[in-house]
């Protein structure tokens, strides 16, 4: 579990998805407003959060895009209002 907020929590960042996000068909760069580390927002790892759409989608994306299966995952929202998980390695403009 992360003790401190992600350094970019509350900010909008550019993300280059390794595999398509749930509501997008490609891997073009997207703007996402980061809320915080997944485990700080939901109180547990994305890997153990059963039935959560963003966690399930990230599990599929991590397999397709060869993303790490660690807890360096941030929850955020895109312009379409859906919540997504992105790995720190997908953030293009900011600190990890």
Write out pLDDT tens, residues 45-90.
999 998 889 999 999 999 999 999 899 999 999 877 788 999 999 9
Distances from the Cα of 71 to the Cα of 41, 56, 63, 88, angstroms = 12, 14, 15, 10
Per the domain annotation, does 5 fall within a domain?
no
Kindly state whether residue 95 falls inside one of the protein's structural domains.
no
- Tell me, yes or no, whether 39 lies in a domain: yes
Using one digit for the tens of pLDDT, what is the confidence trace for 17-28?
999 887 666 677
Contact between 49 and 42 (Cβ < 8 Å):
yes
Query: Domain range spanning residue 63?
Result: 12-90
For the cut 70, the answer to whether the pLDDT of residue 16 exceeds it is yes
Helices assigned H by DSSP within 33-94: 38-42, 53-65
> Does residue 60 form part of some domain?
yes
pLDDT at 3: 93
Domain count, the chain: 1
CB neighbourhood size of 45 (10 A)? 15
- pLDDT at position 8 is 95
pTM, two decimals, is 0.88
Query: For residue 48, is it within any domain?
Result: yes
* 82 inside domain: yes
């Amino acid at each position: 579990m992360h003790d401190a907020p992600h350094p970019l929590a509350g900010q909008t960042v550019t993300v280059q998805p390794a595999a398509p996000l749930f509501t997008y068909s490609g891997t073009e760069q997207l703007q996402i407003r980061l809320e915080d580390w997944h485990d700080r927002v939901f109180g547990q790892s994305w890997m153990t959060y059963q039935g959560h759409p963003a966690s399930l989608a990230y599990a599929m994306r991590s397999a397709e895009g060869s993303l790490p299966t660690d807890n360096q995952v941030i929850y955020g929202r895109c312009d379409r209002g859906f919540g997504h998980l992105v790995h720190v390695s997908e953030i293009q403009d900011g600190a990890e």
